Amino acid sequence: MGSGGGKSEYRGRKTKIPRHIAIIMDGNGRWAQSRNLPRHAGHRAGVESVRVAVEECAKQGVEVLTLFAFSSENWNRPKKEVGLLFDLFMMALQRDVKRMKKNNVRLRIIGDRTAFPDKLQKRIHIAEEETANNTGLLLQIAANYGGRWDITQAARSVAEKVKSGELQPEDITEATLSAELSFAGLPEPDLFIRTGGEQRISNFILWQSAYSELYFTERLWPDFDAAEFDRALKEFSQRERRFGQTSEQIKEQQK
């Protein structure tokens, strides 16, 4: 799929439900702090919002949901918080696989998992295997993921192909690089949500968000419920995606 793949596929749809939603789930710590609770209580509350988001996506017919759970830079947090986040991740994987099977959700973890404890890597592998044949929503959890890491590892794969003679430098196109990225073969995110009030990307998807609609909300992630999710979808459906064209051209195509 080339970099324009997501665009044209999206255009073919009659309804304006995004095929792919990506979310930076931010604000767990502040949610907890405002209740005089430790930060990890916020992360725990955030897991419930993940369940809600997955359910809503499945219900609305969204094909892919990509959630930012742990960034390449989150290693810089206090060791204790990182450890508690991994424990929570482990627990959620254990507990929710059954639910995913029941709801026909396919789970995939994206990011550099080699840095995770062995136990967690095994658990991830099991969860992916057990849901691999599900045909409903694809749930991608971005863990130890960074947009720059993704582009770097894709560049490395392309370089290997050039080195082995499989590919000539002059044949490298946007599609060549796209094919090596973590989202290869998937529609690019149509809707990119960040909760928690910050208006930045924080090294989440970079290449694949070239034409995503950005949606920022003050709501903290643990408070992001079904009604908030619907609000984001409604706003998305009112946006005009022009992909470089004029508004007149878009209206003409919609006739």
26 catalytically annotated: yes
Which residue, 33 or 104, is less far from ligand IPE as judged by CB?
Answer: 33
Give which of 61, 14, 12, 7 is closest to 233, Cα–Cα: 61
Give which of 57, 123, 54, 126 is closest to 88, Cα–Cα: 123
Least Å distance, CB 185 to ligand IPE, is: 24
Of 21-29, 44-52, 141-149, 162-170: span binding Mg ion (CB under 5 A): 21-29
Quote the CA–CA distance of 198 and 184 in Å, as a whole number: 28
- The item of Mg ion, ligand IPE, none sharing an interface with residue 139, based on CB under 5 to 8 Å by kind, is none
Residues 138-167 vs Mg ion: string with x where CB under 5 A? ------------------------------
Catalytic residue among 74, 103, 134, 203: 74
Give, in order, the Cα–Cα distances in Å from 249 to each of 135, 191, 253.
35, 22, 6
Which residue, 9 or 81, is less far from ligand IPE as judged by CB?
Answer: 81
Least Å distance, CB 187 to Mg ion, is: 27
Quote the CA–CA distance of 178 and 176 in Å, as a whole number: 6
Answer for the pair 239, 213: CB distance below 8 angstroms, yes or no: yes
Radius of gyration of the chain from its Cα atoms, rounded to whole angstroms: 19
Verify binding: residue 204, Mg ion, rule CB under 5 A: no
Three-state SS for 142? strand
Least Å distance, CB 70 to ligand IPE, is: 5
Which residue, 7 or 113, is less far from ligand IPE as judged by CB?
Answer: 113
Verify binding: residue 188, Mg ion, rule CB under 5 A: no
